[in-house]
Every structure is written in structure tokens, then in C-alpha cells.
Amino acid sequence: MTAPGAPVDLLVLGGGTAGIVAAKTAVSLGASTLLVERERTGGDCLWTGCVPSKALLAAAHQAAAARTADRFGLEVTLRVDFARVMDRVQQAIAEIAPIDSPETLRAAGVPVRHGQGVFRGEGEVAVDGVPVRYRQAVLAMGSAPTIPPLPGLAEVDYLTSDSFWSLREAPRRLAVLGAGSIGCELGQAMARLGSEVTLVENAERILPREDPAAAAAVARSLRCDGVRVQTGARVAAVHAAPAEGAGAGRLQFEDGREIAFDRLLVAVGRTPRTSGAGLERIGVACDDRGHIRVDGHLRTTNPRIWAAGDLTGHPQFTHVAASHGSLAASNAVLGVRRRAETTVPRVTYTHPEVAALGAATDGSDLRVVTREHTDVDRAVTEGETDGFTRLAVDSSGRVRGATIVGPRAGETLGEAALAVARGMRTRDLAGLMHPYPTWNDGLGGAAIADARTQLDAPLARRAVRLIVGSRRRWLDRRAT
Ligand SMILES: Cc1cc2nc3c(=O)[nH]c(=O)nc-3n(C[C@H](O)[C@H](O)[C@H](O)COP(=O)(O)OP(=O)(O)OC[C@H]3O[C@@H](n4cnc5c(N)ncnc54)[C@H](O)[C@@H]3O)c2cc1C
Ligand SMILES: NC(=O)c1ccc[n+]([C@@H]2O[C@H](COP(=O)([O-])OP(=O)(O)OC[C@H]3O[C@@H](n4cnc5c(N)ncnc54)[C@H](O)[C@@H]3O)[C@@H](O)[C@H]2O)c1
């Protein structure tokens, strides 16, 4: 308990994943701590991000399974009750929410204050105008959907991943601007739940950060779901069409083409929430994209202020926010200099899933070994052979990166992540017994193929031939 007016050891601004984990870590280390949150503890992941999107995808997956059951010899009639789908999404949120509630946090010894935090100067923050003093602080205010400066966009009642969750009816025609993680996940989910979806991406392919073959597999799957995928598409303007319904309009492309929509979802990235918190008064600098500048230990340009989660330039994932929140708090409280983990696994939960980490598995200098899922028996039994497991391997056989495309690829990625983190070689993975027939057979198969290539190298072949020959001679001698 901190005496009234005394500074807390660690002030944490923002009660999303990064802030909650930072505050819990600080408390567990015995530091006096205050967690400040202006809306709801739990952050984007719980309320508008991972949890609702994965719950929606679960419903969409069931719909797709019903629609394609015929290929397994089953006849299923499908009717989508979108309002009930969204009720179940809210139910999933409600089931998880208590873990991050202020009551649970307080019971775990984390003091929580509701209010907007604004730094007044070194060592003092105002929470809804009430001053709080601190020795050090962790900034964890997260990010918000980026709204591009498109002419006419403000005249349309567009959706973002914040407002999407209040939909009660599936729009008949949904246009999605941006085919990154959000655009592909929500676009596919809505197509499977009955909307006519057009995915509009200005890069030359969807999921531009992923291996091109992975993006191509997702694009094929999206098209199978009826999604119109428009890449290299530059939107010049948005025109509202209120006569066709609230939120309706048209996207006008630079080449003059137009597409009409009943609702438009904007999913072109996320902008760090750094403005309005008084960061300039405490000497915390941002880069030109607005991310808080941090060093490898997550310290900002003010040595007493640390930052974690979406507002730094690190990849915007919940597992990064959690890992970095913990690290920032322990570095601050203990004065240690642990480095932030930068090999970050990522999964896009489309069908097929795209899971990746580490070195690029396309165009890298490393050896690339691929196991097509046509050669993975589990994929064949499930009728899901459009995918692959691909490893990037260095000259000593160590696994440096992986891309896996297929159902539950995210689960298989765990094994690849361990291999990369522990510097394991493909022969280590090849020697591991993989239960048959699992999806991880893809990883095992790729590792075996690579280990075999090494055995096929002239030197290794000569050594094996020598061993076999001397064994033969030894056996022959014993026989005589
Ligand atoms: C649709 C969608 C799906 C996603 N799916 C996944 C996924 O499947 N897997 C994954 O790993 N990641 C996913 N993400 C990303 C993930 O949600 C974020 O990376 C994560 O939530 C970031 O956590 P954070 O703590 O940095 O920020 P946030 O969760 O945004 O928390 C920041 C908090 O700070 C509060 N705040 C801001 N300013 C102030 C202030 N001045 N005073 C007080 N409080 C303040 C905000 O109210 C907020 O609660 C998804 C994101 C979206 C949008
Ligand atoms: N499964 C997951 O882990 C998951 C799911 C959803 C979101 N997220 C996180 O949230 C972040 C934000 O997601 P996101 O999908 O908004 O961003 P994103 O950066 O993943 O994708 C945005 C896409 O929009 C495109 N784009 C940008 N401006 C455009 C324009 N004017 N017209 C057309 N396309 C345009 C970009 O080229 C890019 O492909 C992600 O980077 C990710 O870190 C993670």
C-alpha cells in the first residue's frame, strides 16, 4: 500500500494485455504499482480484437463445413442466424472478461484506477485531472484503427474493427479495405456467413508480409468462399449512397472502376495511441510513424519511462504485448537489462491458417525445404491438401524460420518455434517421433527430407559406405 501522495514505484498507463501483464509483474516483484485504464481493462484483444474475431471465425468455419459437407457424403441444410452468431461472439468475450476485470486484478493485488492518464511533467500524471506521482512508468496505451485520408470516406458510416462487433445483420455487400490480417480474417468469415465480400488491397498481393505461396493459398481459399479479391487496387475516393441504406456507398478506383457496397470495413493497419497523453512533457520521443521509440530493453528516450505493446514499433500481437509488458516491468523494477524477444511467431487465422516465424522462407539466402501437404496423410484424410510446411535452414542444418499453411498451422508452429529458439537442426526434428497422422507430420517430413539431403552429400555418403563396408567385413570374419 502506498501512503497518500507518495509516489508509486511503477505507474502503468493502459490496461490492455501489455499493461495488465506489466502491472502483475511489478506487483509480483513487490513494487508499489498503479494500473490506469480509461475504458475497460482487457484492451483490444479481449473486446474488439483476437477474442471476437476468433469466435466469429469459429462460426464461419462451421458454416463452411456445413456448406462443403457434401464432399464427405453428407447432406446438410444451412441457415445463418447472424444475430445469434454475434450473440455467441459476445458470450465468448463475457466468458473470458472476468480474468482481466478490475475486481480480479485487485484481488491479485494490482491497484486499478479508472480514468484518462495525461502526463503533466516528470514524475506526475493526472488521472481524470487527479495527480498521481510515480518513480517510473510503463506506457501501454495500445493502438487504434488507422483511417486513411481518402476523399469522401468521412461521409460514409464505415466500420472498423472497433465498431464491427455491434453489427446485428450481415451486410449483403461488404467491401473490405486492406487485405492484411484483419481484412483476410473478417472478410473470409463474413463471406462464409453469407455476405458478398470484396477485398480491396493496394499491394500486389494479399497478406503482403507473408511468403507469396502462403498468400496465394489463402487467396485461392477466399475465392472458393466467393470473395472477390482485388489486388494492386488503388482507391481514389469513396462516395456515400445513403439512398441505398445507412453505410452504403461506392469505392472509386484510380482507373475509374467502381464497386458498390452496403457496408465498408476499413482495415488498413493500426496507429499507436500516443497523442493526448502529454508524452512531449516527459521527453518521450516517437518515430515518424508515431510509434514510441524504445531500445532493445524497451526503455524510451526518457530513462525512467518504458513502453510495451502495440504503441512500440514491434509487431502488433497479444503475445508480444504480454512478453514485452512483463519484460518492461521487470527491467524497470529490478534495474536489469533483459532484451526484448524479437523472433515473433505469427498466425493469420484464415482457412487455411498461415503460421510463420523467423527468417523468411521465400527468397532468403538460406536453404529452403518444403513439404507439400499433398504428401501429408492427415491433410489427405481431411481433404485439405492445399498447403505446405516450409523451413528455412542454414548451412549447419539449423532451423532459422518456418512458414506453415494449413488447418491448425498455428499449433504446428509451436514445434518450429522451439526449434528456432533452441537452435535445433533439421536432424533433431527428423529424429523426433511425430504421432501419425498429425498435421505436425508436415514439419517432421520437411525435416526428414532436409536431413536426408545432408546424408546424400558426397562426404556423408562416402562415410556411410565405409561404415557399411567395414561392418560387412566384420560380420564375414565372425562367420568364418
Ligand atoms: C480484429 C483484431 C484481431 C486481432 N487478432 C489477434 C490475434 O488473433 N492474435 C494476436 O496475437 N493479436 C491479435 N490482434 C492484435 C492484438 O489485439 C493487439 O496486439 C493487443 O491487443 C495489443 O495490446 P496492448 O496492451 O498493446 O494494447 P490495447 O489492448 O489496445 O490496450 C491499451 C489500453 O490503453 C488504454 N488507454 C489508452 N490511452 C490511455 C490513457 N491515456 N489513459 C488510460 N488508458 C489509456 C486503452 O483504453 C486500452 O484499453 C488483433 C487485433 C485486432 C484489431
Ligand atoms: N491473427 C492475428 O494475429 C491478427 C489478426 C488481426 C490483426 N492482427 C494485428 O493487427 C494489426 C492490424 O491489422 P490490419 O489488418 O489492419 O493491418 P495489416 O498491416 O496487417 O494489413 C493492412 C493491409 O492494408 C493494406 N492497405 C493499406 N492502405 C491501403 C489502402 N488505402 N487501400 C487498400 N489497402 C491498403 C496494406 O497493404 C496491408 O496489406 C496487424 O498488423 C496484426 O499485428 C493480428
One DSSP character per residue, 365-388 reads SSEEEEEEGGG-HHHHHHT--S-E
Residue to mutate, 41, 45, 118, 353, ligand 1, most ligand atoms under 8 Å from C-beta: 45
CB of 100 within 6 A of ligand 1: the answer is no
Average pLDDT over residues 420-445: 96
Structural domain contains residue 461: no
d(CA 143, ligand 1 centre) in Å: 6
pLDDT at site 202: 96
d(CA 134, ligand 2 centre) in Å: 36
State yes or no: ipTM above 0.90. yes
d(CA 338, ligand 1 centre) in Å: 24
Residue to mutate, 162, 182, 235, 344, ligand 2, most ligand atoms under 8 Å from C-beta: 182
Name the domain boundary from 241, 268, 295.
268
Q: What sections of 193-317 are H helices per DSSP?
A: 212-224
- The pLDDT tens digits for 27-55 are 999 999 999 999 999 999 999 999 999 99
Name the domain boundary from 216, 250, 268.
268
- Comparing C-alpha atoms, which of 85, 163, 118, 97 is closest to residue 13? 118
Regarding whether 275 and 264 lie in a shared domain, the answer is: no
Pairing of strands 124-127, 249-253: unpaired
Q: Model confidence at 134, in pLDDT bands (50, 70, 90)?
A: very high
| Other Cβ atoms closer than 10 A to 478 | 7
CA 365 to chain centre: 26
What distance in Å separates the CA atoms of residue 457 and residue 395, rounded to the nearest whole number?
13
pLDDT at site 225: 98
Regarding whether 108 and 228 lie in a shared domain, the answer is: no
Regarding whether 275 and 136 lie in a shared domain, the answer is: yes
Distances (CA, A) of 74 to 60, 63, 84, 197, 202: 18, 14, 25, 27, 40
pLDDT at site 342: 84
Regarding whether 187 and 324 lie in a shared domain, the answer is: no
Ligand 2: nearest atom to the Cα of 233? 33
What range defines the domain where residue 278 resides? 8-144+271-334
Pairing of strands 130-139, 305-307: parallel
- Tell me, what CATH number does 257's domain have? 3.50.50.60
Regarding whether 134 and 35 lie in a shared domain, the answer is: yes
Give long-range contacts, CB 8 A cutoff, 24+ apart: 92-95. Answer: 92/51, 92/52, 92/54, 92/55, 93/46, 93/47, 93/51, 93/52, 93/55
Structural domain contains residue 116: yes
Regarding whether 258 and 161 lie in a shared domain, the answer is: yes
What distance in Å separates the CA atoms of residue 112 and residue 108, rounded to the nearest whole number?
11
Ligand 2: nearest atom to the Cα of 148? 31
- Nearest ligand (C-alpha, residue 323): 1
pTM of the model: 0.96
Regarding whether 12 and 129 lie in a shared domain, the answer is: yes
d(CA 373, ligand 2 centre) in Å: 27
Average pLDDT over residues 4-10: 91
Regarding whether 131 and 114 lie in a shared domain, the answer is: yes
Structural domain contains residue 464: no
Contact 406, 370 (CB under 8 A): no
Ligand 2: nearest atom to the Cα of 209? 39
pLDDT at site 3: 74
Structural domain contains residue 477: no
Regarding whether 137 and 14 lie in a shared domain, the answer is: yes
Average pLDDT over residues 215-241: 98
| Cell numbers that stand for 265 in this block | 470495413
| Other Cβ atoms closer than 10 A to 65 | 15
- Tell me, what CATH number does 426's domain have? 3.30.390.30
pLDDT at site 5: 81
> Considering its fold, how many domains does the chain have in total?
3
pLDDT at site 1: 60
DSSP code, position 344: -
Regarding whether 33 and 135 lie in a shared domain, the answer is: yes
Instruction: Tell me which amino acid residue 87 is.
Output: D
Peptide bond between residue 242 and the one before it cis (omega within 30 degrees of 0): no
The position carrying cell 476523399 is 151
Residue 469 CB partners (closer than 8 Å, separation 6+): none
Regarding whether 79 and 206 lie in a shared domain, the answer is: no
Strands annotated E in 308-450: 346-348, 353-358, 367-372, 388-393, 399-406
Average pLDDT over residues 226-238: 98
- The pLDDT tens digits for 363-403 are 778 999 999 999 999 999 999 999 999 999 999 999 999 99
405/456: higher pLDDT:
405
Regarding whether 235 and 136 lie in a shared domain, the answer is: no
| Other Cβ atoms closer than 10 A to 242 | 12
pLDDT at site 415: 97
- The pLDDT tens digits for 328-366 are 999 999 999 999 988 899 999 999 999 999 998 887 789
Mean pLDDT of the residues in the chain: 96
d(CA 179, ligand 2 centre) in Å: 6
Q: What is the DSSP string of 217-244?
A: HHHHHHHHTT-EEE-SPPEEEEEE-GGG
